[in-house]
Structure 1
């Protein structure tokens, strides 16, 4: 992972900043700069003299909170900037902040939503990962990545150019993360048993080559770290993530052109809410 800016979404309503702890670990590993972004606008401003007073006071309080979080990180030698922001639509504000700061990754705390909430596709995490112009890391817990295993989920069911481009982005981002954290990169793919690997991966026909070795060759991953499952992508991803005790799962969310609707909802959003591990989404 090259040096870049990690935009950390700070929750103004919580003292437990899970995303910041993960961002600190990544900044130490990569040398990246941290940008602490906190967006808040109270619905009720009746206790203030005016809207201007509410905004001014809120931004001062947010800045104080951010500076308190930044102080120990700067003492550690990390480069840290802060940005308080006044807006009720924090998701859109995060997206715009990425552009202003040239962020290479957004890091946000998350958690598993069960039952009814699991099916609300307008949920904040989904809105953010759909629109973010860079990779988005959803942090489920702040424990270190001790297993040193990164799992990238690729789609090898079809040979179209859009899927191929998205697969390349997924593996590239996963490889950068694996290199930066000295982790092993694994791949998982679900496929129809009738799929022709040579056609799908654009390789020369080789009757003696297994599906796993074809994928290993195509993406430059060790053969013993390629995991192929027949059936639904969601089930394959969940199974392999748990089987290898992955620290983080890398998924594609918003593809180009007609793939957008197919990937959003069908795989990424279902998987995110059924895993306790961190999930890195790329576009």
Structure 2
């Protein structure tokens, strides 16, 4: 299934971003889509206007060489991916990237993740893209597995009260299924459940509830959540090999731990909690999860999300 047709890869132009380029070129090839490389760079000092053209030409040459090396490493045939390059200022990088997306109608932003500690967490520019960019954002981290062994996972909440949540979950399942099919073929579906009152109810002298009643309640909550999850997967229409990981506990703890233990290379998840509200912040649960991840992340927003950034 072709999900993206107008890809944008964000580069700083002066740093080693081979991993991000590799994932961007692979995705463009698999989607038979053109790839725009957007160099986000400092404005050249106004005191030296004669060197502005030389400055951009040097960045262009460096970037073209990196693209060629990456294409060679991927063994892409000449012309297999239509690649072009453009520039924007880094004075307000996230805003400028989002404006470029809106002006040129890109449907996916790909960028190397900028980590807080070189392993987990995300810096401000990446968090702002996850919060405000109207299209999916793919934040790349190194993948050590061969292409045929890449592990893909999707995090789903089948019991969300948001009206747009079911549609978003179906989109995430379809995207992750398609992505897994292009990699190992195995899709991991993660969903977390819990009954937070269990510890409070057991042995509480003020509430005379038997252990058997509590056990039955916990089992019912588990079964209801599992049934909702399986119904959502079934209704999404995805096929192929998939493994359901129905984890008990807080998503902010269980999902990052699962990603490390499996290990997962690419995680697909929703990153915004509401629709129709300009600039509504990323959901607390999602924000706490992404700050603990050490894998590549694809963040999707629900249909109807309104970016606070205007095309300009």
Name the TM tier (shorter chain).
0.7 to 0.9
- Comparing 216-225 with 239-248, greater Cα deviation is found at 216-225
1:207-228 superposed Cα distances (whole Å, 9 cap, x missing partner): xx85664454344467961111
RMSD: 3.5
8 A contact 2:135–2:300 mirrored in 1: yes
1:229 deviates by 1.4
Q: Which residue of 2 aligns with 1:225?
A: 243
Distance (whole Å) between structure 2 residues aligned to residue 110 and residue 141 of structure 1: 10
Distance (whole Å) between structure 2 residues aligned to residue 256 and residue 270 of structure 1: 17
Matched, 1:183 2:170: no
Distance (whole Å) between structure 2 residues aligned to residue 264 and residue 234 of structure 1: 14
Matched, 1:240 2:258: yes
Gaps of 5+ in 2: 72-76, 196-217, 302-312
Distance (whole Å) between structure 1 residues aligned to residue 17 and residue 123 of structure 2: 25
1:153-199 superposed Cα distances (whole Å, 9 cap, x missing partner): 01123344132232223223222322343532221111234576898
SS across alignment from 1:15? coil
How many pairs does the alignment contain?
Answer: 268
SS across alignment from 1:32? coil
Distance (whole Å) between structure 2 residues aligned to residue 238 and residue 70 of structure 1: 32
8 A contact 2:6–2:35 mirrored in 1: yes
Q: What is the TM-score of this pair, normalised by structure 2? A: 0.71
Task: Report the structure number with the largest CA radius of gyration.
Answer: 2
Distance (whole Å) between structure 2 residues aligned to residue 210 and residue 167 of structure 1: 15
1:146 deviates by 4.6
1:17 deviates by 3.1
Q: Which residue of 2 aligns with 1:205?
A: none
Match of 2:270 among 225, 230, 252: 252
Aligned pairs for 1:1-283 (under 5 A) are 1-2=1-2, 4-42=5-43, 45=45, 48-49=47-48, 52-53=49-50, 55-71=52-68, 73=71, 75=78, 77-114=80-117, 118=121, 123-143=124-144, 144-181=146-183, 183-193=185-195, 213-219=230-236, 220=238, 225-257=243-275, 264=282, 266-283=284-301
- Comparing 252-261 with 122-131, greater Cα deviation is found at 252-261
8 A contact 2:42–2:90 mirrored in 1: yes
Q: Which residue of 1 aligns with 2:74?
A: none
Distance (whole Å) between structure 2 residues aligned to residue 156 and residue 138 of structure 1: 25
1:278 deviates by 0.8
Distance (whole Å) between structure 1 residues aligned to residue 12 and residue 40 of structure 2: 8
Distance (whole Å) between structure 2 residues aligned to residue 145 and residue 276 of structure 1: 18
Distance (whole Å) between structure 2 residues aligned to residue 4 and residue 150 of structure 1: 21
Instruction: Return closer, same or farther for 1:114/1:28 CA change in 2, 3 Å cut-off.
Output: same
